[in-house]
Chains A and B, each alone.
Chain A
């Protein structure tokens, strides 16, 4: 049985245009497919990944055009629905940014900051990204 791993993701939108996804969410999904048992917490600016309907405009340079711009809400939803990875969002970090829960994709779990230490204690490995 795999060690339970908690991934706290707080760096949002780093290189997502160039990579066409978030490299940490991608890594977690790929490891889950290899048999890992991951959980994700979105905190800081990364809570914005859960806002539904978002989408960055594709990059274009001269005649070169990007065809697969990232869709972070889709990728978070895929973690939940396709990879069976629990995804928590820190409530206070949403509130500080004026993001209402009604604006978010479905399937998320909400976590007050005070409950984060307890969630860490439930996991063998905690990674802060």
Chain B
């Protein structure tokens, strides 16, 4: 039976392993058709920023295509698509003040700008809440 799961993410892209853990959990939830609510707070507000760009890796001797560098915007987009494919839904909210601080106001389509009030609503509606904070 599908559940409603709320997540709070705080880490920015490319800074810690927390987001890898988060995306593994989110992927598993999406594949099971759960309703997913994400509040992207502080640095995590940049996860869905559409101007992220992959780069080559001269230290590894790999060009742009060979390095195939991950971008979190692609992971967010893939999460939304996977949830829809499996009968679920993702409501991904980017904290508006955090977005403004960082100048990352161009989001992946299907995510939206929001506020702490959205996270409050997520918590009220969820069967489970998981905060993955920056440490």
Contact = CB atoms under 8 A, between A and B. Distances in A.
Nearest to A74: B60
A62 B14 contact: no
B62 A68 contact: yes
A26 B83 CA distance: 35
Interface string A73-85: 0000010000000
Interface residues of B, number: 33
B78 A30 contact: no
Per DSSP, are chain B's interface residues mostly helix, strand or loop, or mixed? Answer: helix
Per DSSP, are chain A's interface residues mostly helix, strand or loop, or mixed? Answer: mixed
Contacts of A68: 62, 66-69
Nearest to B69: A20
A64 interface: yes
Nearest to B15: A15
Contacts of B72: 18
B78 A62 contact: yes
B59 A64 contact: no
B60 A64 contact: no
A23 B15 CA distance: 9
Contacts, number: 74
A61 B23 contact: yes
Contact of A62 (B15, B16, B17, B82): B82
Interface string B1-30: 000000000000111110110011011001
A3 interface: no
Interface in B42-91: 57-60, 62, 66-70, 72, 74-75, 77-79, 81-83, 85
B17 A61 contact: no
A18 B13 contact: yes
Of B15, B16, B17, B24, most A-chain CB atoms within 10 Å? B17
A30 B14 CA distance: 18
B59 A63 contact: no
Contacts of B83: 62
Contacts of A33: 58-59
Interface of A: 13-21, 23, 26, 29-30, 33, 59-64, 66-68, 78
20 contacts: A14-B16, A15-B14, A15-B16, A18-B13, A18-B19, A20-B57, A21-B59, A23-B14, A26-B59, A30-B58, A59-B20, A59-B75, A61-B78, A62-B31, A62-B85, A63-B81, A63-B82, A64-B78, A68-B62, A78-B59
